Amino acid sequence: MGLSMLTATAQEVTKVAEPVEWVNTLMGTQSKYSLSTGNTYPAIALPWGMNFWMPQTGKMGDGWAYTYDSDKIRGFKQTHQPSPWINDYGQFAIMPTTGKLRFDQDERASWFSHKSEVAKPYYYKVYLADHDVTTEIAPTERAAALQFTFPQSEESRVVIDALDKGSYVKIIPGENKIIGYTTKNSGGVPANFKNYFVIQFDRPFANTAVWSGKNVVNNQLEVKDNHVGAVVGFLTKKGEKVYARVASSFISPEQAELNLKEIGKDDFATVKEKARKIWNQEMSRLTVEGGSVDQTRTFYSCLYRSMLFPRKFYELDASGKVMHYSPYNGQVLPGYMFTDNGFWDTFRAQFPFFNLMYPTMNGHIMEGLANAYKESGFLPEWASPGHRDCMIGSNSASLIADAYLKGARGFDINTLYEGILKNTQNEGPLSSVGRKGVKYYNELGYVPYDVKINENAARTLEYAYDDFTIYQLAKALKRPQTEIDLFAKRSQNYRNLFDPETKLMRGKNKDGKFQSPFNPFKWGDAFTEGNSWHYTWSVFHDVQGLADLMGGKKAFVNMLDSVFVVPPIFDDSYYGQVIHEIREMQIMNMGNYAHGNQPIQHMIYLYNYAGEPWKAQYWLREVMERMYKPTPDGYCGDEDNGQTSAWYVFSSLGFYPVCPGTDQYVVGTPLFKKATIQLENGKKVLITAPNNTDETRYIQSLNLNGKAYSKNWLSHDELMKGATLNFQMSTKPNQKRGTADADAPYSFSTAKK
């Protein structure tokens, strides 16, 4: 894995031959309801694969389906879970056992140890002590290979659990096969939702049983009920391997059989090797050198998480045509569909990451968004697999505008723009789609505090930013000038909530008076999973405008500094308890900076707009070094579908997309001595910082393509042509570089309209 390339003294990684081997899929799994260190699970998957697999330690239906501190595994589950808070769908479990017939999830469970566990993106292996069985799993996009190594036993079995809420199984002994379906889900599905599965074994069954609830159904090969499953038995010698190929489909049982062809006649080792190659191929587009072992592991573990969601929710029919079961209207339709993503989280860095690295795939995702709009009447904001009532904003506008403006094509931009416009005029059937409070926002320029719409200030700030992205897109699409002007004007609605007395954003009543009493440390209420100190910075598109409201750049920097200076005090009265996001801020020892949640994740970069970029460099390195570790407790809060990981990937390269919908990345501070970005168009971006160490966090100078470069931002278009960035790093800040007004990144207030 390249570890032999380490130098003994500094433990510096000089070459990464196989990036996937550096990934720790257990990073973030030591989580629980009260404290998230990622709220992740070890997804055995291909990049953006339709089906993931996981070892299941939690009880059926528990969102915390795999937790590092658990002792027992209950089964190996096909999963589509994007987050424990959203939970799962399209799920069923397989568990090898020995001894007497046991199929109940508690009775079949087995002790395991992390010492006999191998967890990689393309391969998982664990020893189940109570059964003396080793399980191995390797994925394809819609199928998986499972291999069980049994002891000598006349009672070796494999249990299939199709879970509750309506399921079906059928054993076909003549074909060594089990088929069935599962309907268990946690919302966002039409009435006809089913996940059809097929399990093909490599040998005949010595005995069979089907079960319903807690009872065996005698003399039957199939059963349909609330909670059913099957058990097939084998006579095994010590070390004998039983191989099962598994696939599923949201379309039909026949399509599940087609999806099984992804494995075809491949043996387990071949499936595993193909998956390893795919991960290495995709991850090798980004290589880093000259960091520590931990930094390299963290980088590739975050890169892995950045490449899981949104998942492909489409399938290929017999002729290879792209089809999908619509999670919006229940029909089988042509075209792309992706799902399992909350745009409130991922508009910030994950989708900009795709626009840099995977523009063709992001074009497919955009086509999927157009299909979602056509099939449901609204653009999705949190889909799993269909619309879910979760989070705020209408940030699909940011995704679509950023993709189009950065050159992604191959999708129906006119349909998407229609959907964006509809959002600006309508509330949706759920509060998360459309714009809740839209009439107030369009008439008053803000969503009032006192009209029974919670998180009103956060909604206002996000709608204003989204309106900026619509303004940018409207210009590119040559829309009528009146329309362009309208969204330009609305992008300034953030000003309506700025309180000059506290220099913070504050809820405002319908009568135009600020909400009172005001506690800037109060979480929730007018804000979303944060307080005013976190949300005040959500003016991505007009940082200079925000600085002007605060009294200019010095006052603005003083307010930025204050986030880290004030103690981690909080008011949790809105929630009535200390929610995990509050606790995660409190224990990180960075004042009121709450990197464990998304609203503030761009804030450190804002020093670049106010002529003090060295402060961004200091704090960014603090966050990278203290808040991310390649360990089970490695994140500082919910990882959230790749967003918190994409922050690290971008930041360690030395730049970050503060304002999607513009062409700019804001310069931070690179973490590695060298990074190479292999762009999809064949060009390369080479980033070098030869004297980079833990101590040299400050940029002394930056050369772009061989010329001195003082600006605090990089152009996407310039990077796409291929670029060489050379950083000279220093232990002391350079307080002259990047200080001129002309060095500041884009702000609406200062831009040529």
Two tokens, residue 491: 């992008």
pLDDT at 658: 98
pLDDT at 11: 87
Strands (E) in 133-262, as ranges, are 133-139, 143-150, 153-161, 167-172, 177-182, 195-201, 207-212, 215-217, 222-225, 228-236, 240-249
- Give how far Cα 436 sits from Cα of 394, 402, 524, Å: 9, 23, 16
In the block, tokens 């670029």 appear at 723
Q: Are strands 723-730 and 684-688 parallel, antiparallel or unpaired?
A: parallel
pLDDT at 229: 98
Q: Do 621 and 313 form a contact (C-beta atoms < 8 A)?
A: no
Closest CA to 620 of 582, 665, 656: 656
Q: Do 560 and 603 form a contact (C-beta atoms < 8 A)?
A: yes
As beta bridge partners, residue 291 has 13
pLDDT at 10: 55
Q: Do 179 and 168 form a contact (C-beta atoms < 8 A)?
A: no
Query: What is the distance between the alpha carbons of residues 331 and 314, in angstroms, rounded to a whole number?
Result: 13
With residue 304 as reference, give the H or E element that holds it.
Answer: helix 293-306
CA atoms within 13 A on the CB side of 397: 29
103 backbone dihedrals φ, ψ, rounded to 5°: -125, -15
pTM for the model stands at 0.97
Whether the link from the prior residue into 385 is cis, omega within 30° of 0, is: yes
Whether the link from the prior residue into 670 is cis, omega within 30° of 0, is: no
Query: What is the distance between the alpha carbons of residues 525 and 520, in angstroms, rounded to a whole number?
Result: 11
Rounded to the nearest 5 percent, the helix, strand and coil shares of the chain are 30, 25, 45
Two tokens, residue 463: 């709608």
- Segments of the chain scoring below 50 in pLDDT: 1-9
Q: Do 124 and 137 form a contact (C-beta atoms < 8 A)?
A: yes
pLDDT at 544: 98
pLDDT at 752: 78
Neighbours of 561 (CB within 10 A): 15
Closest CA to 340 of 45, 28, 583: 45
Closest CA to 525 of 507, 537, 541: 507
| DSSP symbol at 737 | T
pLDDT at 442: 98
Q: Are strands 177-182 and 167-172 parallel, antiparallel or unpaired?
A: antiparallel
- The per-type count for the chain, helices as H runs and strands as E runs, is 19, 38
